[in-house]
Amino acid sequence: MDYSDIFRTIFLAPLVIGVIELPFTLLEFILKFFLPMFFLFIGYRLLNVLLRRILGKSKIKEDIQKNILLWTRRILRLGLLLLLFILGGRLLGARIFEYIKMFTTALNKPIIDAGNTKISFLTIILIIPVYIIASWAGKTSRGLISPDLMNRFGFDAARQFSISSLLRYGVMISVFLIGLSIIGVNLSSITVIFGVLGIGIGFGLQGVVANLFAGIIIIISRPIKDGDRILIDTYDGTVSQIRLLSTVINTITNESIIIPNTKLVSEPVFNYSYSDRSIRVTNKIGVAYNTDLDFVMKLLEEIASANPYADLSRKNEIRVEKFGASGIEFVVITWIKDVKDKFTAHHWTNLEIWRVFRVKGIEIPFTQLDLHIREGNFT
């Protein structure tokens, strides 16, 4: 077989998928479908870049620019989808409806048949939009409850979180189950559902189920809630989202840590804002032994009270902690209003101590080693 025969066999012979012979060759597919779609996609990308640069040089407000870019992308994507169907129709020709019928028949063929429940590939595909709609309904329902209304009923932040979370997941599960029944999944047979769940647990879903129930426990018992500052293991950050299977913590370095809910239920969690967001910040400083301690305590009290993050309704504390090897060590305990400012407040106090002590001539000792050499003969 020469090269021309190989070329005709690969590019000019009709394509066959299984027992289905398609009405076009590989060469026709490349020329009539792949290449046009490739150039259309390149054009779509170039138009986006060009529009972004034009808007960037214009004097249009940033929020308006974002809306223009968003709607432009949506329109262009809709146009690409339409052209995709047009090119596919041209490629398949008059037999397009025949292939659509074959495709839908294959999708509707049941792959799971348990009693009255028949699940096909089409059912599995339709589960995706059902889940998206259920998630959207859950988030929307959570926003329907006004914080002002719950404040009138005397609900604190933790109870408000529990009520809104339970409402969100309740609506989400209800809409999801209704959607499953609409697309043809019969939910009347509870034994089938529990049977599938049992099989899943047997094949390694124990962790998923455990995290699910741990998420429900967190929502009901409220050991943590959105916005709490917590420490678990070495992760110190703010709870940004509590989900059914995991919780997202945003650290001070803007890193998102995803922690399984079972870890939050089974291990100790330091919740700095469980009942009160104010905490005590501790700064340590040493002074030389020949320093006037009463004067130092007065200066440290003034520094702690001047801290812009301090809670002035609470009394700060200045303590002599110990007599160290190089000097006398003080502890400055400052109450601050919000735990999220603890690192900033700690930095401010340290920096202010350094400035004030330098102006007042107070010595901050450091470890040093004195070497004494005795006179004598060394051999």
Q: Quote the pLDDT of residue 65.
A: 80
pLDDT for residue 190: 47
Question: Both tokens of residue 74?
Answer: 């949506």
**More confident call, 19 vs 74:** 74
The runs of H, that is alpha helices, within the chain are 3-7, 26-29, 35-57, 62-92, 96-108, 121-144, 147-152, 157-182, 190-200, 206-221, 261-266, 293-306, 342-360
Taking residues 110-138, what's their average pLDDT?
Answer: 74
Mean pLDDT of the chain: 79
**Coil, helix or strand for 228?**
coil
Residue 320 has pLDDT above 50, yes or no: yes
Whether 283 has a pLDDT exceeding 90, the answer reads yes
Q: Mean pLDDT check: name the lowest of 27-41, 184-198, 284-298.
A: 184-198
CB 269 within 8 Å of CB 348? no
Return d(Cα 62, Cα 58) in angstroms, integer. 10
pLDDT at 131: 84
**Domain residue limits, the chain:** 3-108, 279-360
Contact yes or no for 34/87 (Cβ under 8 A): no
What does the longest C-alpha to C-alpha distance in the chain come to?
113
Q: Please give the structure tokens belonging to residue 49.
A: 């870049």
Taking residues 166-195, report their average pLDDT.
Answer: 71
Pairing of strands 229-232, 256-260: unpaired
Are 12 and 24 spatial neighbours (Cβ–Cβ below 8 Å)?
Answer: no
**Residue 205: per-residue pLDDT:** 60
pLDDT digits (tens, 9 = 90+) for 5-57: 666 666 667 666 655 666 767 777 788 878 888 888 888 888 888 888 888 78
Flag whether pLDDT at 79 surpasses 60: yes
* Overall CATH class of domain 279-360: alpha beta
The DSSP-derived string for 241-266 is: EE-SSEEEEEETTS-EEEEEHHHHHH
Q: Classify 134 as helix, strand or coil.
A: helix
Decide which of 354 and 368 is more confident.
354
Would you say residue 191 has pLDDT above 60?
no
Selection from 81-85, 183-187, 307-311 with the highest mean pLDDT: 307-311
